[in-house]
Amino acid sequence: MGEWMDGYLDQLATVHQENLDAGGKERVDLQHNLGKLTARERIDLLADKGSFEEFGAIVREFGGSMLGAGTKPSPAEGVVMGLARVNGRPVMIYSMDFTVMSGSIGDQGVWKIAELVKMAGQEQVPLIGIFDSAGSRISFKNGFVGLDGLGRLVRNYCLYSGIIPQIALLLGPCTGPMAQVPVLSDFVIANQDTGFLWFGGETESADAGSAEFHMAESGQCDFLVESDEAAIELTRQLLDFMPQNCWEKPAIIESTDDPERKEEALLDVMPENVKFTYDVHEIIDLIVDNGEFLEIKEDYAQNMVIGFARFDGMTTGIAASNPEELSGIMEPDSSDKYDKFLMFLDAFNIPLLTMPDTTAFPPGDKWERMGVIRHGAKNLHGYSNLTNPKITVVLRRSYGGSNIVMGCSKMGPDFIYGWPTTEFAPTGPEAIVQAIFHKELAKAKEEGNFEEIYEGYVSILRQGMSVFNMGKVFTSYYSVHEVIDPRDTRPRIIKALRASRDKREEMPERKRYIKPA
């Protein structure tokens, strides 16, 4: 090797050492004392050993003269990024370095990320962003920097949405305009102790901006974890449910659970009296492979349960009403939660299993003011445009408009099954009895036999709503393809998933559809 190259290699070695040193030992120690890993430690833990190939290592804050006067030390410009493998699959990763100027994003750092997003989209591999940043960097000379790059970053995230899976790890603060970026991702995993997301303005409560706030209150986080290590392990697990891009299907893994398994315990989950509730998690745990269910947004809008599971190794998204919470109603928050999940499943060819037991969209002034109609319309629009495999298993009540958005027989599910307990109706029998028989009920109150008369009417009406009556007309809106023994739920779902794996469903040709606001 020529001696003339030695000087260049020495320069390169210096750059790499500066990057490894990050913001210096004192800043690294502070990061660890805060319970956080450094940017490179996070990537090393996430990526398969030896697979990370860095991009943009030589980039620094650029300013002052051509000789670099007036610049501050900024190893890798506070952003570590590159190509890696996770569980053997190529991915693009970037990680903000809080040890470098508190992870504040500068002009070159934001452009690095913007270009990486574009690379991930073009190479059609998943994108993983790790956020730990005090926000936009402020320069006394140039004011706020990086806003032009931020515009391109946001646009690239949006352009490649639905083409590649996008996962954000909120492991530290993320404030100001940059706070929009994690929420543009498909999933946000937050460290419950260190994750903080805030767009701007004064905070008015002690928990404002915290990971718990954005899970339970705003619904902007999908998972809460206890540590950086747990967030990284969950990321690896979540990726396994996804294909590389929208042109592929999720891999089928070898299952150790019997596809023909029948569960006697399913007969005991649902109470005999419809006035009593039950937890739909009990049903989900009994039918999925090995009882393993990865729930999304579990502390937000708990009347709607969504998440990933497998049936005989086949990845499936589950959306189930939970009667234990608000009787499983479809209110605005649950509608929004359900809507985004539908879009993700369809974009990445993941089958949808809906399991309704709901009294429908709630009536009344409170809900109307919250926009229950337009939020529900998103679900109508979303489900109508799905082309992925769709299976419905009606557990008990499927009333009103919720019957449509949860996959009724005329909304295009590939297979729709009902337990013998299934009831179809425009609204519950109690409301119908009150509306139609109000005179008779008023008289019964005067005569002292209200409960007897009321329950008699409700019982008769409930029998008429039974799937055994409603299902007699196969082409009806209120119908199923088959009423099944609850114990056969798992085998039926698996057979339906196998049958629909290679389905083709075409939508009308158009430039794009316009979803209700």
Model's pTM, two decimal places? Answer: 0.92
| H-assigned helices in 177-324 | 180-184, 211-212, 228-239, 281-287
Give residue-wise pLDDT tens across range 109-122.
Answer: 999 999 999 999 99
Greater pLDDT, 148 or 52: 52
Give residue-wise pLDDT tens across range 413-438.
Answer: 999 999 999 998 888 777 787 888 87
Burial state string for 416-430 with b = 16 or more CB within 10 A and e = fewer than 16: bbbbebbbbbeebbb
Going 499 to 312 to 245 to 225, the CA torsion angle's sign is positive
Residues 96, 97, 100, 105: what is their CA dihedral angle, to the nearest 10 degrees? 0
Confidence of residue 400 (pLDDT cuts 50, 70, 90): confident
> How many whole angstroms separate alpha carbon 284 and alpha carbon 319?
10
Confidence of residue 331 (pLDDT cuts 50, 70, 90): very high
Residue pair 88/125 in contact by the 8 Å Cβ criterion: no
Residue pair 316/306 in contact by the 8 Å Cβ criterion: no
Return mean pLDDT, the chain.
90
Give residue-wise pLDDT tens across range 19-31.
Answer: 898 889 999 999 9
Confidence of residue 459 (pLDDT cuts 50, 70, 90): confident
Answer whether residue 217 shows pLDDT above 60. yes
Give residue-wise pLDDT tens across range 468-493.
Answer: 988 888 888 888 999 999 999 999 99
Residue pair 437/457 in contact by the 8 Å Cβ criterion: yes
- The pLDDT assigned to 225 comes to 96
Confidence of residue 72 (pLDDT cuts 50, 70, 90): confident
Among the residue ranges 112-121, 252-261, 271-280, the one predicted with the least confidence is: 271-280
